[in-house]
Amino acid sequence: MTSPAAAGPLTQLPAWRALQSHFREVEGLHLRDLFASDPARGERLTAEGAGLYLDYSKNRVTDETLRLLLNLAREAGVDSRRDAMFAGERINVTENRAVLHTALRAPRGSEVLVDGRNVVPEVHEVLDRMAAFADSVRSGEWLGFTGRPIRNIVNIGIGGSDLGPVMAYEALKFYSRRDLTLRFVSNVDGTDLTEKTRDLDPEETLFIVSSKTFTTQETMANATSARAWLLGALGDDAAVARHFVAVSTNAEGVSKFGIDTNNMFGFWDWVGGRYSVGSAIGLSLMIAVGPEAFREFLAGLHDMDEHFRTAPPERNLPMLTGLLGLWYRDFFDAQTHAVLPYDQYLMYFPAYLQQLDMESNGKHVTLDGRNVDYQTGPVVWGQPGTNGQHAFYQLIHQGTSLIPCDFIGFCQTLNPLHTGSQPPHHDLLMANVFAQTEALAFGKTQAEVEAEGVAVGLAPHRVFEGNRPTNTILADRLTPRTLGALIALYEHKVFVQGAIWNINSFDQWGVELGKVLAGKIVPELQAQEEPQLSHDSSTNALIRRYRDRRG
Ligand code: F6P
C-alpha cells in the first residue's frame, strides 16, 4: 500500500483525544440551545455539491466539534487516501487491487491509469457496446429465437449484481420504457425465479446473468434453472444465444455456462461488486431507461466524484456526512443509522445502502491486521417516508437508542397529484420531512405538554426529549443525474469513514465462511443414506430434522 498512513493509531491521534474530552463537554448540549444561541445556524451549517443540498445543522455539534472532526480527517490522512484511490493505487490491500469505480464514470477522453495503462477507453468501449445492445433491444431489432422482439428483461444476480440495478431501476422508473417488463431475480429460493417468470413468455424474455465472478452459487443456480425454463419452452439449445447475455469479469466461466462471449459485457477486478452499478452491471437499467439517461446517471456519479475530490473539507458533502456519522458511532455509541427517503421511487435505496455500507465497513481489524479499539460501521436501515412514520419512528422519537437519520427529499415531484381542495400530495409529503426533523431536534418539553392541559400523570408519556440528530438532503428533482450524485455521496461517505477507521472498505471476507459451510452441507442434504454428520449438536439436529420432514 503506497498511500501515506495516518500519523499513528486512531485513538492516539491528537484530534481523537481532543474529541474525547470535547465530547464530555458537549454531550449534554441540546439542539434547542444550539439553535437559540445562533439564529443563523440553519443556513450556516449547510453545504451544496453536485446538485444536492445538505442541511446538517440539526446535528449535535458545535463549531468546535466540526473543527476537531475535520482535524481528525486530516490527521487520519483521508485526503491522501482519497487521492490514492482516484490515482488507481492498490488500496484494496487484502486483494491487492485498485479501487476505481470512479473510472467507470470518467468522461470520454479523460485518463485514469491502472498499472500505467489508461482504462478510460476500455470503459467507454464497453459502454458503447452496451448502448448498441440496449438500443437494439429497445427498438425491437434484437429478436428472440422464434423471431419475436424482447419485451421482458430478467436480471439474474445477487448482492452488488442485483441491488444496484434493482434500486436504480425502481428509482428511475419514471424515465423507463413502460412497454418493457423488468424483473430482478436474486434469491436462491426457487420462489424468486418461479414468481418472477410465471407470467412471462419465454419467446419474448431476455436473461441478463450478472455476476462479477460467475461462480456465485445463487446466481449460477438461478441461471441454470432459467435456461431450463427457456429450453423447456423453446426446445433448442441454440435459443440460449438469443435469450441469454452475461455481465462478468470471468469470460471463461461465461463460456462454460454456454453463453457466447460475444454476448458478454465485461468489467474489471478494480470494480467492487457493491460499487458496480455504473459498470456493465447496470445493463438492465440501461435497457429500461435508455443509453442517454444512463450516461446522465454516470454524469451524476462523476459530479459527486469531482465534488469529493476538489471541494474543501468543510464544504465537502461526503466528508461532512462521513465525519458526522463517525461522531455518533464512536463518541455517542450510536449503533444504527437510518436512511429515510421521502420518495416512493427510492424504495430500495436503504437496502442498497445496507450492502454498500455494511459490507464495506463491517470490519474489526485495521489494514495492518490489528483489532480495532473503537467502533466501525453502523447498522444501516430504513424505508421510504411516510410509511416508516407509522411503523418505527416511535422508537426514534421516544425510544432509548440514539438513531441518527438522513432524510432525503425533492423539491419537485415527478407525479404531481392534486385532488380537489386538499393540498397537493407533494406538499403533504414534504411537510412530513420538515416536521419530522423539527420534532426530532426540538421535541416537546414537560412544561409545554402540561401547558396543553395534559394530566400530570400522562405528561411524561407525551414528552419528546428531542435532541435526536438528522441530516436533510434536498435535491430539486429525482433525475438520473441526481440519483448518480446521491449514490456517489454515500459511496464516498463510506470511504471517508473507512479511511479514518483504517480498515479495508473494499474486501468482504466475512461472507466467505458461511458460503464454504453451505457448500459442505448441500451434499449432506442430498445424500440418499443418512450422512455421518460432524457439525455441532445443534446443526446436526437441524439437518436431521430437515431431512426427516422435507417430504
Ligand atoms: O456477498 C458477497 C459478494 O461477493 C458481494 O460482494 C457481491 O456483490 C456478491 O457476492 C455477488 O458477487 P458476484 O457478482 O461475483 O456474483
- Which amino acid would we find at residue 239? A
d(CA 81, ligand 1 centre) in Å: 25
* Catalytic residue check, 515: yes
pLDDT tens-place string over residues 148-207: 999 999 999 999 999 999 999 999 999 999 999 999 999 999 999 999 999 999 999 999
Percent of the chain with pLDDT over 90: 98
- CA–CA dist 455, 462 (Å, integer): 10
Residue for grid cell 435497457: 287
- CA–CA dist 121, 144 (Å, integer): 31
Average pLDDT, the chain: 97
CB of 159 closer than 6 angstroms to any ligand 1 atom: yes
d(CA 157, ligand 1 centre) in Å: 8
> Which residue's CA lies nearest to atom 9 of ligand 1?
159
Residue 492 — left, alpha, or beta (φ > 0 → left; ψ -120 to 50 → alpha)?
alpha
pLDDT tens-place string over residues 3-31: 445 777 999 999 999 999 999 999 999 99
d(CA 430, ligand 1 centre) in Å: 36
- CA–CA dist 206, 183 (Å, integer): 10
**Residues 350, 381 contacting (CB under 8 angstroms):** yes
> Which residue's CA lies nearest to atom 16 of ligand 1?
211
**Residues 122, 177 contacting (CB under 8 angstroms):** no
Q: How far is CA 378 from the centre of its chain?
A: 14
Per-residue cell: 222: 438461478
Length of the chain: 551
DSSP label at residue 421: T
pLDDT tens-place string over residues 339-374: 999 999 999 999 999 999 999 999 999 999 999 999
* Catalytic residue check, 390: yes
User: What pLDDT, on a 0 to 100 scale, did the predictor assign at position 8?
Assistant: 78
User: What pLDDT, on a 0 to 100 scale, did the predictor assign at position 521?
Assistant: 97
Q: Please give the radius of gyration of the chain, using alpha carbons only, rounded to the nearest integer.
A: 25
**Residues 67, 75 contacting (CB under 8 angstroms):** no
**Residues 385, 429 contacting (CB under 8 angstroms):** yes
**Residues 100, 114 contacting (CB under 8 angstroms):** yes
Confidence of residue 112 (pLDDT cuts 50, 70, 90): very high
**Residues 278, 101 contacting (CB under 8 angstroms):** yes
Which of 333, 325, 292 has the alpha carbon at shortest distance from 471?
325
CB of 510 closer than 6 angstroms to any ligand 1 atom: no
pTM reported for the whole predicted model: 0.98
Question: CA 442 → CA 35, 57, 352, 406, 448, distances in Å?
Answer: 9, 12, 31, 16, 12
d(CA 22, ligand 1 centre) in Å: 41
**Residues 508, 197 contacting (CB under 8 angstroms):** no
CB of 248 closer than 6 angstroms to any ligand 1 atom: no
Mean pLDDT for 55-74 is: 98
Share of the chain residues as helix, strand and coil, in percent rounded to the nearest 5: 55, 10, 35
Residue 544 parent element (H or E) = helix 537-549
pLDDT tens-place string over residues 281-325: 999 999 999 999 999 999 999 999 999 999 999 999 999 999 999
CB of 216 closer than 6 angstroms to any ligand 1 atom: yes
Catalytic residue among 203, 359, 491, 524: 359
d(CA 161, ligand 1 centre) in Å: 7
E-only strand ranges, 73-226: 113-114, 117-118, 152-156, 181-185, 205-210
The three-class DSSP label of residue 448 is helix
d(CA 258, ligand 1 centre) in Å: 21
**ipTM for the assembly:** 0.98
Q: Which of 212, 267, 358, 491 to mutate to test the pocket of ligand 1 (most atoms within 8 A of CB)?
A: 212
Q: How many CB atoms lie within 10 A of CB 284?
A: 28
Q: What is the DSSP string of 226-272?
A: HHHHHHHHH--GGGHHHHEEEEES-HHHHHHHT--GGGEEE--TTS-
Catalytic residue among 256, 364, 418, 515: 515
Per-residue cell: 357: 455500507
- CA–CA dist 499, 366 (Å, integer): 10
User: What pLDDT, on a 0 to 100 scale, did the predictor assign at position 2?
Assistant: 42
CB of 274 closer than 6 angstroms to any ligand 1 atom: yes
pLDDT tens-place string over residues 266-283: 999 999 999 999 999 999
Given a cut of 50, whether residue 1 has pLDDT beyond it is no
